[in-house]
Structure 1
C-alpha cells in the first residue's frame, strides 16, 4: 500500500484547521442587510451613547467594522440601485427617490430600474443560489407606478416588500400610546395583492420571519442562499412600540427615532440567534450590514461628519459597515475596526461574486471593484478608482456635482 508523505499530512492538517475560509465544498451563504436612513454614528458599536444596539454589536465583536465605507447616493432609490447592480445609478437614470409618475417626469428620472440592468441576485441565481428579497425595494412600484416589474424579474426566487415595490407586501398600520390604530398610507393597496396589514413597529419582524423561513428551506435542501433583508427602519415617520418605549406620539423626534432604532435591533436579534444556533449556518454564512444613506435631520446622527440625508457631504454618503463571517475570518481580525480602507457600495457586488466563485460575464457592465480581501480582513487596501457623485435633482444647485477622490 502506498504511504502518504508525512509533510503532506502536516500541510493538510494546517490548511483545513487554520485557514480562514469555509472548510467544505459548500458554497457560502450571504445575508445583505440594508438599514434605511441610519446615520454613521447611530449604532452603539460606532459610538452611539444615547441608545444601545446590543444584537448588532454582537456581530461587530466577531466581525469587522469599516469606518470609511461610502454609499453611492445620499438618498434612497439610487443608493439601492448601486448596491444591487454594482454600477452608478446615473447609468439607469435614477438619481433621486422614485415617486409619482408626474414628479419623476418633472425631475427627468425613470419610473423604475430597467430589468435588463445587471443584478447581484440574478448572477447568484444563475450560479445555483436560492435568492430572496425581504423588505423595502424602492427601485420601482411606488405611489401610482403600478406597471413596474415584479421584484422576481431582477433574479429573486421569492420576495416580500412594502408599499414601494411590486409583489407580496406588508403594509403599515400605526398604534399610538392610547391604542388608537391608523394607516400611514391610506392608498397603499393600489399596487396590487397579495398584501397584509400589520403594525409598523413589527414589520421588521415580518420581514425577518419570512427570511428565516426562506433560509430554512434552502438549508434543508442544501442550497446556498443569498438574502436581502432591507427593513423600513429607521425611516420616518417614527412609530416605535409605544407600550415598550413609554413615549407619547408627541415625543421629541430624536427620542422617537432612538426608540425605533432599539426596537429594530431587538427584532434583528431573532435572525442573528437563528444563524448562530446552527453550526453549519454560522460557519458558512457572511452577513454584510450597512445603511442606504445618511440620517434624517434631527433624528439619526453622523458623529462629527458634516451633513445628513440628501447631502453630498460625508454625513450624507458615509455609512457604518459591518461584515460578519466567523468561518471566513482569521481570529486576529475579529472585533477589529478598519479605519484606513476606502471603498464603496458599488464594490459589494463584484466582491460577493468573487466570494461565491461566481463567474462574471466578460461584457457585463460594472463600476465596482473587487474588495473581498479587505472585507474579510485579509488586506487593508482601498479601491483604486475615484468615486463619482451627482446631486439628486431635488437638491440645491450649489451641490450639483462632487467628485470624491480617495
Structure 2
C-alpha cells in the first residue's frame, strides 16, 4: 500500500527532474571577450580590405559569424565603455562626455556583477575608463579582478569564466599621436620584416591628401593592426593550450571607429561602425541564430545589446534598466530595424551629434555645426598627421573633399554607407532621398524625446546636477522640460531668417537650458543672419546662466567686435569652474581674431587646480597662434 500510494509522487518528482534538465543548460559557456582599440572594419582583411594583414581575426570570421552592422554607441573610448558596462546608452545616463564622472543609480551595476550571481569568475585585463562616479568602487563590484595580470587562470577549478582582454596596440596613440620614433620602436620593430605593411602598400582614404608625408603616417594604422592581430593569436593559443577553447564562446570587437582624423570622435559611420565577430565551439553552435563557419549577417548590433546578451548566456535575469536586445540563445530578441547612436565631448573638443542608422544609410544631426569635423582636440593636434593636414590646408594643397574637414559642418548628414563607404556624398539635398531623410529625422527626434536625452544639458549643468541626483533619474522628472529644450536645440543648424528669429525669441525663455540652446543655435548662424539682432545678443551677455552669457559674448565679440564681450569672455576664462573656462576657450578657437585673448588664456591654463581639458584647450588655442610648440612633449 505504501509503495502504491507513493507512485504518483515519485512520477511527479521524476517529471520535475526531467523538465529541470530540459530547461537548464547542461554547462554554462565560458566567454572570452577580446576588445581592440580605435578600429573600423574598413581596415581589416575579412571585411574586404586586401591590403590588411589580419590573419588571426580573419580566421575567427572564417569559422564564426561576422557582423557587417555593428556600431558603438559613442565615438571615443570612455562613453563607449560606459554604455557597455552599464548596458544603458549614455544619453540616458548623462555619461556621454569623455572621461567625466557622473553618478548612476545604485541599482545600475556593472553587468559582470550579474554574471557573478550566476557563478562566473569575471576578469578584466585591464582597461576600464567608465564615466561613472566613484569608478574605483564601481569597478571593484563588477570584476573579481581588473588588472594586467587578470585572466581565466585565476578562477576556481571548474568555474565558468567571463574574461575580457583589451589590446592597446591599435590605439590612436600608436596610429597617430605618439612620435614616429616611438611608433617605430614600439610597433614597427615588433614586427618581422615580412609582416610589415609598406607606405605604398595600401589605398589612401580619399579625404586625405595622397602624399609621401601622409602615407608615412597612415601606414601606422596597418602595422598597428598587424601587431594587434599577432597578440590576439598568442592569447588564443593560450586558451587552446589550457584545454578551454571547446568550452568557450569568443566575442571580438573594437570599442569604436578608427583612431584617425575624421574617424574617432566624429558622429559619422567611420566614428561608430566597428568590426564584430562571434566564434562558437561545436557544443554551443546551437546558440547561434545566424549559423557558423563563415556566415555573414547584416543584423544591426549596438553596444547596448552586449550586457543583456551575455547575462542571458550565463542564465541570469536581465535588469529592468537594460533595454538592449538579447542577440542569441533561447531568449533572443526581435531584430532591430534601426539604431540611435550618440557622440559628445571628446577630451577638450565639445560637440553633440545624434545619429540614426538602418545599416545601409546613416543620418547624423550636428547640433553644433559651426565646429568642423577636424576640430581642435589636443590629443590629435600634437600628431604629425594632423599637423601635416593643417599645413596642407593653409597652403591650399587640398581638394574640396579634403578641405571640408576644416570647415563648418552642415546641420545634417545623410550617407549611403553601402555605396559610399568613405562618406563623401551628403544626400541631404538629394530629391530622391527626401522621404528617407524625413523618416530618419523623425525617428531621431522621437527617440530623443522618448529617452529624454539628458546630454542636452551643458556639461557644467550635468556636473552640478550629478552631485545631488543621478541624471538618469533626473531626466524622468517634471523638472526636465525635454519638449521645450529639444525644440530649441533642433533649431541649431537651421541657418535661416525664420530660425534666427525664433532663436532670438528663445533667449528670453524662462527655462535656462532653452536659452542655452537658443544661444548655441545663433552661434551657428551666419554673420548676415545675426546682424539684425545685435541688441538682443548683447543683452544675453548678462544672462544669469553662465553658459548663455558665454555663448552670447562669443557671438558679440566675433560679430560686433564688442569690447564688453571681450571683457565678459576674459572673466570666464579665469573662472574657477573648469567647464565654464573650457566652454569659453572652445568658442574662442573659432573666432576670427584670437590674439586679444592670448595672455588671458595662458593665465587660465596656469591657474591652480586646472584639470586636463581646459589646460589642453588652452594649449590648442596658444598653439594655433604659434605661441607654443605643437608636439607630443607639449601636451598641455
Q: TM-score normalized by structure 2? A: 0.43
Aligned length: 303
Match of 2:189 in 1: 243
Secondary structure class of the residue paired with 1:127? coil
In structure 2, relative to structure 1, the CA distance for the partners of 1:46 and 1:255 (3 Å cut) is same
Secondary structure class of the residue paired with 1:252? helix
Match of 1:383 in 2: 336
Matched, 1:252 2:210: no
Match of 1:227 in 2: 163
> How far is 1:270 from its partner?
1.7
Match of 1:182 in 2: none
> How far is 1:123 from its partner?
0.3
User: 1-side partners of 2:38 and 2:118: how far apart?
Assistant: 32
Matched, 1:401 2:354: yes
> How far is 1:28 from its partner?
1.0
Q: 2:252 aligned to 278, 289, 296, which one?
A: 289
In structure 2, relative to structure 1, the CA distance for the partners of 1:365 and 1:380 (3 Å cut) is closer
User: 1-side partners of 2:36 and 2:341: how far apart?
Assistant: 21
> How far is 1:396 from its partner?
7.1
Q: Aligned ranges for residues 132-211 of structure 1 at < 5 Å?
A: 132-139=123-130, 148-150=135-137, 152-160=139-147, 207=148, 210-211=149-150
In structure 2, relative to structure 1, the CA distance for the partners of 1:381 and 1:49 (3 Å cut) is farther
In structure 2, relative to structure 1, the CA distance for the partners of 1:156 and 1:224 (3 Å cut) is same
In structure 2, relative to structure 1, the CA distance for the partners of 1:115 and 1:228 (3 Å cut) is farther
Contact 2:326-2:332 within 8 A present in 1 as well = no
Q: 1:312 aligned to 262, 267, 287, which one?
A: 267
Match of 1:269 in 2: 233
Secondary structure class of the residue paired with 1:83? helix
Contact 2:267-2:343 within 8 A present in 1 as well = yes
Match of 2:311 in 1: 353
**Larger helix proportion of the pair:** 2
Secondary structure class of the residue paired with 2:164? strand
Match of 2:152 in 1: 215
> How far is 1:278 from its partner?
4.6
User: 2-side partners of 1:112 and 1:139: how far apart?
Assistant: 11
User: 2-side partners of 1:270 and 1:114: how far apart?
Assistant: 39
> How far is 1:112 from its partner?
7.3
Contact 2:88-2:322 within 8 A present in 1 as well = yes
> How far is 1:310 from its partner?
1.6
Contact 1:55-1:272 within 8 A present in 2 as well = no
> How far is 1:72 from its partner?
0.6
Contact 2:326-2:333 within 8 A present in 1 as well = no
User: 1-side partners of 2:324 and 2:345: how far apart?
Assistant: 24
Secondary structure class of the residue paired with 1:348? helix
Match of 1:166 in 2: none
Say what the alpha-carbon RMSD is for the aligned residues. 3.3
> How far is 1:258 from its partner?
2.0
User: 2-side partners of 1:231 and 1:29: how far apart?
Assistant: 20
Q: TM-score normalized by structure 1? A: 0.66
Contact 2:325-2:333 within 8 A present in 1 as well = no
Q: Which residues of structure 2 form unaligned runs of 5+?
A: 1-23, 175-182, 199-212, 360-636
**Larger strand proportion of the pair:** 1
User: 1-side partners of 2:80 and 2:240: how far apart?
Assistant: 30
> How far is 1:77 from its partner?
0.9
Contact 1:338-1:380 within 8 A present in 2 as well = no
Q: 1:365 aligned to 321, 330, 342, which one?
A: 321
User: 2-side partners of 1:115 and 1:242: how far apart?
Assistant: 45
User: 2-side partners of 1:285 and 1:71: how far apart?
Assistant: 24
Contact 2:110-2:138 within 8 A present in 1 as well = no
In structure 2, relative to structure 1, the CA distance for the partners of 1:328 and 1:114 (3 Å cut) is same
Structure number with higher relative contact order (C-alpha < 8 Å, ≥ 6 residues apart):
1
> How far is 1:276 from its partner?
2.7
